[in-house]
Structure 1
Amino acid sequence: MAASSSSSQVRFIEKALLATGSFALSYTDPDQKWLIRKHLTSLLQDYPNFELSTDIFNHNNGAKVQLFCLEGSLGIRNSTTQLPAVQLTIWIHENYPLTPPLVFINPNSIPIRTNHPFVNSSGFTNSRYIETWEHPRCNLLDFIRNLKKVLANDHPFLHTESIPTRNQSVSRTEALDRLATSLHYDVLTIMERSEEEIENLWKLQSEVKQRSESVKTIINELEMERETLKVRALNLKDDSDVLATWVETNYDTLMKATSMDMGIEEMFEIEPEVEGLAGDDAIEDVLRVLEEAAERGELEIALYLKQVRVLAREQFFIRHYRLKLEFPYLSML
């Protein structure tokens, strides 16, 4: 059911409140009905462009109730500019006036701004006046008047900021609404900055992790190099011991060479021993390089084994020859 003119709307209210059967509204208390009639009449006197009707409202919990419904355009103007009008749908709750009305903004062709402090994306409006609703201090008409100021300060379709001039007085309620709006956007700004800082920290953590992996790789490489150097140091020590033994064994020959009592042919008898030692070390180096190449997959196993056999055979003869030079009596065995 719907009503249009002012007088007919009053009659419509009275008739709707007295209806029974399938047209009966969900307002049961007589005192409640009287207050609803009074508040609706006051609102329609100040805002005659609103149309009143009754319809079924579905609550979020699935309950269906028959309620008064107001629909109309609310003109919005701040201190300097006429702003776009806002289409409202107001449902008078079945527990009104103890419970505030349910108010929705119809976006039509203009979408509602995201992150609005009092209007969500579906158009549901929940201003401070609604949140602090208390009967008999609050009523329908004062709510609409407050809503006009709230939307003028922060329009749901446009980003506006109405700043009162020095000569403009602001009520306590409006001041609190402005404060709530400012706090809302301050919180959003802080959240955006926090998210940005968190994102930067995640990137920094990823970079630190990559650097940590690089450091671990370098440490592992240095550890391998250290082990390699230890092996080389041990090999050098063994070679040094061999040379020391050889020098001790051939000391007299060396002394003759330095005293020039030895001929050139005798002096070069030293060379085969040194040459054999150098050849042995060279083969060891080649074997190590071949082994590393095979481990990296740069050398086929068959070719690796073939080269190792050749080098091992040559190394065997070199070492055998060195032993004969160092211990001549072995050649007689």
Structure 2
Amino acid sequence: MATTAAATGTVVLVDAALAPYEHPDLRWLVRNHVLAVLQEFPTLSPSVDTYTSDDGASAVLLNARGFLAVSSDLPPILLTVWLPREYPYCPPLVYVFPAAPSASLVPDHPFVDHRTGRVHRTLPYLEDWGVPRSSLAGLVRSLVEALRMCHPLRAASFGFAAATTRARARTPVEEERGRMHTVLVDELASRLGRDAAAFRGGVDQDIHDMSSLQAGLRTRGDAMGRAVHDLEEERMRLERAVTASLAHRGKLLTWLHKASPARAPDAAAAVAPHAAAGDAQRWLESKALELAVDDTIDALGHALENGELSFQEYIKRVKILAREQFFHCHEASTSMST
């Protein structure tokens, strides 16, 4: 009966504490997580307290705290697990403290900050936190396994284990084993701390290098954007120049069509005085070649309009034909003068 009443009181406390949480549809899941961790680790108990973050903001949060035995040979620790308002989408905030006032945490611990006692996100379970595969019970089990390999307390604090366990006579062999165990654990903790510090230094250097590379890539991206903008403006300018050239060409063709028929009667009249002199044939050939050049230029203009000929090729051929037409025109004029 007492156990049932206690469990009912725990459920009521948890439900009341979860009232202001952000995900009301998941309160049943949070309640199951809390009850499961309390059932698996009876030394923990739920409570509601004010949590103050590093930036000074405070909020009333549900938490589970109590002594956590890592192993029978190592001293217990004082564990506090805070559930933020965004839980379960946000991982819980875990703190580890020495159970004895005289004990202290190991500096440069791979998982625990020795100044605040907070468990880092480097703990694999916290780093891979996700819904619905993660839970409070799984987090505490993972923490126990991690701290069993690398205990957060200094080696001098391990004497607390003997004070909290039942007194028994220890043989010299057991004493030597205990001393060696303490030395090995201390050495392992020191090595892990040094490795974690070196790893963090390498990660910081990689982050710095990647930030510098990102800044360089951003600068190159801006330069390429400006170059593309300039090329687009150049393309539009060339399009306007081609349009203006085509308009000018149209005016030239119109002028040539108007001027060519006007010269035909004069040419026919000029042929008559020289028909017997033998220059008429030469004049006619020169005039025909001149008019053929006009037709060729006209055909090139149509090819340019249809996209069958580039503007540079069109200008090149028109220059050659204009030079050739000039000589034919000079030949015809010379024949008429003769």
TM-score range, shorter chain: 0.3 to 0.5
TM-score by length of 2: 0.43
Larger of the two Rg values belongs to structure: 1
Larger helix proportion of the pair: 2
TM-score by length of 1: 0.43
